[in-house]
């Protein structure tokens, strides 16, 4: 029997095994019980709702249409990031630290600066190729001012590429490198929060970011504010409207006090407004999200946000427009994201899932066919509608 002829439960089981996951691991990331996963894989429980299939696809890093058996995985146009991730994994597997000289430390610092800029400009393929060498370079130093940002940027790009487990490992390395320095510890905790949210561990992300923010206190308001926003997003993922609103409010107060951002968090009033929209999306209030989005893009601060931040945000906004059935606006958000930060569209599994949904609507909105071709999608049967 070919893989396309298998029942959906068997396809879920095959992809779970390929990802090296147990039934319990899959259940934890889906927020389900192990018994639920077992019944799905045995066919005792039918998967009928497309949002549930999408969620499983995101966890297993596979197109939902593949789980539905309607076509085989296409070649992804990811700029060669897959091979690069293997290089990052190998670099993270090295634990030896050799003494370096001042010249090597200066070169490592230059590489860290370049990596941070590359991330802000969403140059993910180039960054993925550079990270193995960067991680090797910073290992010669015991300076947290090199180790923390290097591991943090590695974690951030891995989460972008759907490698959240590996991103969590890199973020944990950043936490270890931070030691007893509260500011660097808080900076590393931002990456931990992002990785945990990507893994669906929102309550853990909320706990980690909250503890780090408390430890940091009023110092470094840009880092504190970023932690609060990460916590708000995690609270949104938990469905905790009150907690999310409280954290957004605290972040807004800090944003008014920020005068400098030495750790390049991108925090400020615009970041708070953007996070408020994304929190609404996480809470399932797409109407409030699109209303807030109309205000966000009229602000001057919107254009000053890094390309990475704006591109990622627009992919989330496309999700909100899909939820309210405005397909043209969803397509427009994706086209805008591609213009601002092409790698956000061409390298991220989340963007590819949204494009796949739009591409299989009839008629597909303008611009979607081009984006679908860019990420390697081909026409196929319609998926069940989002409900």
Question: Which is more confidently placed, 20 or 185?
Answer: 185
Structure tokens, 192: 């931990």
Instruction: Give the CA diameter of the chain.
Output: 63
Residue burial 214-226, b: 16+ Cβ < 10 Å; e: rest:
eebeeebbbbbbb
117, 118, 119, 123: CA torsion to nearest 10: 150
Interval 211-238 mean pLDDT: 91
Of the chain, the percentage scoring pLDDT greater than 90 comes to 50
Q: Averaging pLDDT over each range in 11-25, 103-117, 135-149, 173-187, which range is the top one?
A: 173-187
Query: Looking at 77-86, 167-176, 240-249, 267-276, which range is the least confident one?
Result: 77-86
Whether 112 shows a pLDDT value over 80: the answer reads yes
Q: How far is residue 76's CA from residue 65's CA, in Å, rounded to a whole number?
A: 14
Q: How far is residue 340's CA from residue 333's CA, in Å, rounded to a whole number?
A: 11
Structure tokens, 233: 């997003």
Q: How far is residue 67's CA from residue 210's CA, in Å, rounded to a whole number?
A: 37
pLDDT-based confidence at residue 200 (cuts at 50, 70, 90): confident
What pLDDT was estimated at residue 98? 59
Whether 172 shows a pLDDT value over 90: the answer reads yes
Whether 75 shows a pLDDT value over 50: the answer reads no
Mind giving me the DSSP string for 130-188?
Answer: HHHHHHHHHTT---HHHHHHHHHHHHHHHHHTT-HHHHHHHHHHHHHHHTT-HHHHHHH
pLDDT digits (tens, 9 = 90+) for 284-303: 899 999 999 999 999 988 99
pLDDT-based confidence at residue 376 (cuts at 50, 70, 90): confident
What pLDDT was estimated at residue 162? 87
Mind giving me the DSSP string for 201-241?
Answer: -HHHHHHHHHHHHHHHTTSSHHHHHHHHHHHHHHHHHHT-H
Query: Looking at 120-134, 217-231, 257-271, 354-368, which range is the least confident one?
Result: 257-271
Q: What is the CA radius of gyration of the chain?
A: 21
Instruction: Tell me which residue has tokens 């960067």.
Output: 134
What pLDDT was estimated at residue 261? 62
Question: Which is more confidently placed, 83 or 4?
Answer: 83
Selection from 40, 38, 8, 60 nearest residue 384 by Cα: 8
Question: Could you tell me which residues come within 8 angstroms of residue 132 by beta carbon, excluding any fewer than 6 positions away?
Answer: 84, 87, 88, 90, 91
Judge residue 300's burial from the number of C-beta atoms within 10 Å of its C-beta, 0-12 exposed, 13-18 middle, 19 or more buried.
exposed
Phi, psi of 284 (to 5 degrees): 85, 10
- The sign of the torsion formed by the CA atoms of 152, 198, 332, 285 equals negative
What pLDDT was estimated at residue 57? 87
Question: Which is more confidently placed, 383 or 360?
Answer: 360
Query: Looking at 7-11, 71-75, 159-163, which range is the least confident one?
Result: 71-75
Q: Are the beta carbons of 244 and 236 closer than 8 angstroms?
A: yes
Measured CA distances, 140 to 134, 160, 171 (Å): 11, 27, 19
Query: Looking at 59-68, 96-105, 154-163, 236-245, which range is the least confident one?
Result: 96-105
Interval 317-339 mean pLDDT: 93
Q: Are the beta carbons of 207 and 189 closer than 8 angstroms?
A: no
What pLDDT was estimated at residue 241? 94
Mean pLDDT of all residues belonging to the chain: 86
Question: Which is more confidently placed, 214 or 83?
Answer: 214
DSSP state of 384: P
Whether 307 shows a pLDDT value over 50: the answer reads yes
Structure tokens, 8: 């959906």
Q: How far is residue 15's CA from residue 72's CA, in Å, rounded to a whole number?
A: 13
pLDDT-based confidence at residue 387 (cuts at 50, 70, 90): very low
Interval 258-272 mean pLDDT: 77
Question: Which is more confidently placed, 3 or 111?
Answer: 111
E strands in the chain: none
Interval 156-168 mean pLDDT: 93
What pLDDT was estimated at residue 263? 60
Could you tell me the domains of the chain? 3-67 (1.10.260.40), 78-179 (no CATH), 297-387 (no CATH)
Q: Residue 43 is inside which H or E element, if any? A: none
Query: Looking at 23-32, 126-135, 256-265, 269-278, which range is the least confident one?
Result: 256-265
């Amino acid at each position: 029997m070919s893989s396309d002829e298998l029942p959906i439960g068997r396809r879920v089981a095959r992809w779970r095994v390929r990802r090296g996951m147990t039934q319990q691991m899959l259940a934890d990331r889906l927020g389900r019980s192990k018994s639920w996963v077992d019944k799905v894989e045995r066919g005792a429980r039918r998967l009928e709702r497309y949002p549930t299939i999408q969620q499983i696809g995101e966890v297993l890093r596979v197109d939902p249409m593949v789980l539905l058996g309607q076509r085989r995985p296409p070649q992804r146009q990811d700029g060669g990031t897959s091979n690069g991730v293997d290089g990052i994994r190998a670099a993270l597997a090295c634990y030896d630290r050799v003494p370096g000289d001042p010249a090597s430390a200066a070169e490592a610092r230059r590489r860290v600066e370049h990596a941070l800029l590359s991330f802000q400009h969403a140059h993910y393929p180039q960054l993925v190729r550079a990270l193995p060498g960067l991680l090797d370079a910073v290992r010669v130093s015991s300076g947290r001012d090199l180790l923390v940002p290097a591991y943090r940027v590695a974690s951030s790009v891995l989460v972008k590429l759907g490698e959240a487990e590996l991103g969590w490992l890199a973020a944990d390395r950043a936490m270890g490198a931070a030691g007893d320095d509260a500011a660097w510890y808080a900076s590393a905790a931002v990456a931990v929060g992002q990785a945990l949210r990507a893994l669906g561990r929102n309550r853990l992300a909320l706990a980690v970011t909250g503890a780090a923010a408390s430890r940091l206190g009023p110092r470094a308001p840009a880092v504190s504010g970023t932690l609060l926003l990460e916590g708000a997003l995690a609270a949104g993922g938990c469905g905790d409207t009150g907690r999310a609103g409280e954290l957004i409010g605290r972040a807004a107060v800090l944003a008014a006090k920020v005068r400098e951002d030495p750790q390049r968090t991108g925090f400020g009033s615009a970041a708070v407004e953007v996070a408020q929209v994304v929190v609404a999306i996480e809470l399932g209030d797409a109407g409030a999200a699109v209303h807030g989005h109309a205000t966000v893009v009229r602000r001057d601060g919107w254009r000053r946000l890094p390309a990475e931040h704006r591109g990622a945000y627009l992919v989330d906004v496309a999700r909100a427009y899909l939820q309210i059935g405005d397909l043209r606006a969803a397509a427009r958000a994706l086209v805008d994201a591609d213009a601002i930060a092409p790698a956000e569209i061409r390298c991220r599994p989340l963007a590819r899932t949204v494009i796949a949904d739009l591409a299989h609507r009839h008629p597909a909105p303008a611009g979607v066919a081009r984006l679908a071709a860019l990420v390697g999608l081909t026409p196929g049967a319609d998926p069940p509608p989002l409900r």
